[in-house]
Amino acid sequence: MSALLDTFAAQRQNLEGLAQESRLRRLIPRSGLDFSSNDYLGLASCAELASAIRDAIARGVPVGSGGSRLLRGNHEEHERLESEAAHLFGTESALYFSTGYAANSALLSTLPQRGDLILADELIHASAHEGLRLSRSEHLFARHNDSADFAKLADTWRAKGGTGRIWLAVESLYSMDGDLAPLDELSAIADERDAILIVDEAHALGVFGSQGLGAAEHLSGRENVLRLVTCGKALGCEGALLCCPAIVRDFLVNRGRAFVFSTAPSPVMAAAVRASLLLVQSRPDRREKLWRNVRLANEALAPLGLSPSGSQIIPIILRDDQRAMDAATALQAKDFDVRGIRPPTVPPGTSRLRVSITLNVTEEDIRSLFHELANVLEAAQPAL
C-alpha cells in the first residue's frame, strides 16, 4: 500500500492542497427541494418521457448502441432524431453527440482551421475551453457580453494581417450569471465580417423562444449561425444536437475526433429526446408555468436588495468563498438544495449561490426559500 501511495504522491498532494483551500469536491447524494438542477421544465422524471422509453424498448430499440456511429453504432433512432431536429430548428442537418462537452470539444477543435481566429466570450463553458485548447486556430477572449469588444478584436486581428475565417463563440444564456447574450448584435457583427456565429443554447432551450426553441430561435436557418442544443437540461434527457449546414455535419463525421471515436449515444435516449422535443412544442403551459415561478422569485428578490437576472438562473453573489459555502450549507440544512459556486468555476471574488428555478418545486417552496434566504443573507452581510 505504501508503494501505491508513493506512486500517487503528486495527486494526493494536489488533493490536500484543495482541501486546505476548502475547494475539495465530493460527490453527494441529491436531497432537499430542487433549487440547483438544470431540469427547468421538470421533464427528467415526467410520465411522458418514461412512457416514450417504454414504448421504444417495446419496439425493439436497443438500450446500448454497441459501437461508434461509423461502425455498427448508427441506429435509425439517431437518424430520425437528427432529421426531426433539423426540420424543427430550420437547418439542413443536425448531428447528435453523447454530451454537450463532447459536442463543444469537437466543434471548436475541428471546424476552425489553421489561420482562423476564434473569438470566445470570457465566460463561455469549460467544454468550449477544451475545444479551444485543442484547436489549431488562434483564439482570443472578448469581455463578457460586450459585442463592441468582439468587433474590436476582430477588426484588430484583420488589421494585423489575419486572413482566415473568424468564429464567434458564445452561450445564449450563461449558466452562472443567468444573463443573455446580445445575439442580434453578435449576428450583425458576423454578417458584417463574413464570420460564423456559434451559439450554445444549453440553458436557453425549452425556456426561451416563441416555441421554446432557445434564445437564438429567430436566427434559425442562417448559414453563418451554428446552434448547439443540449438535451440534458430542460429536455430532461442526455446528449447534444448540433444544428448546422450539411457540410458541417459531414466534416465533423469525418474529422471530429470526439464524434468519430466515441461510442454512439443510446438509441433509447435518442427516442426519448425526440419525445422531449415534441413535449416542448406541444406543452407551452410548462414553459408558461416556469415563467410564473421565475416572476415570483424575482418579486422576492426586491426586498433583499437583489436584481433579477432576466432568466430562470439567479446568482446571489457573496464574493467570499467560505461565506458562499456556509450560506449554501445553511440552506441545505433547511431542506433547500442550493449549491455554493466558487472559483475556478466562477472568477475569483465572485463566489455565489446559484439558485435555479424549475418546475420541480411549488410556488410555496419558492416563497419559503427566499424567506430563509433573507436570514442567510443577513448573516452573510459582511461579505456583501
Q: How far apart are the first and last CA of the chain?
A: 47
- Look up 171 and say whether it is catalytic: yes
| Whole-number Å distance between alpha carbons of 85 and 288 | 23
Catalytic pick among 75, 78, 139, 233: 233
- Look up 289 and say whether it is catalytic: no
3-state DSSP helix/strand/coil % of the chain, to nearest 5: 45, 15, 40
- Look up 356 and say whether it is catalytic: no
Catalytic pick among 175, 262, 266, 293: 175
- Look up 38 and say whether it is catalytic: yes
Catalytic pick among 39, 116, 121, 200: 200
Catalytic pick among 171, 201, 321, 337: 171
Go through 375-384 and write b for each residue having 16 or more CB atoms within 10 A of its CB, e for each that does not: ebbeebeebe
Catalytic pick among 203, 276, 311, 321: 203
Q: Please give the backbone phi and psi of residue 167, each rounded to the nearest 5 degrees, phi first.
A: -120, 130
| Whole-number Å distance between alpha carbons of 246 and 252 | 10
- Look up 175 and say whether it is catalytic: yes
Go through 108-139 and write b for each residue having 16 or more CB atoms within 10 A of its CB, e for each that does not: bbbbbeeebbbbbbebbbebbbbbbeebebbb
- Give kind and range of the element (H or E) at residue 248: helix 246-255
Catalytic pick among 125, 201, 238, 321: 125
CA 233 remoteness from chain centre: 7
Give the residue among 194, 181, 169, 156 at the shortest CA–CA distance from 119. Answer: 169
| Whole-number Å distance between alpha carbons of 173 and 231 | 15
- Which of the residues are catalytic? 38, 125, 171, 175, 200, 203, 233
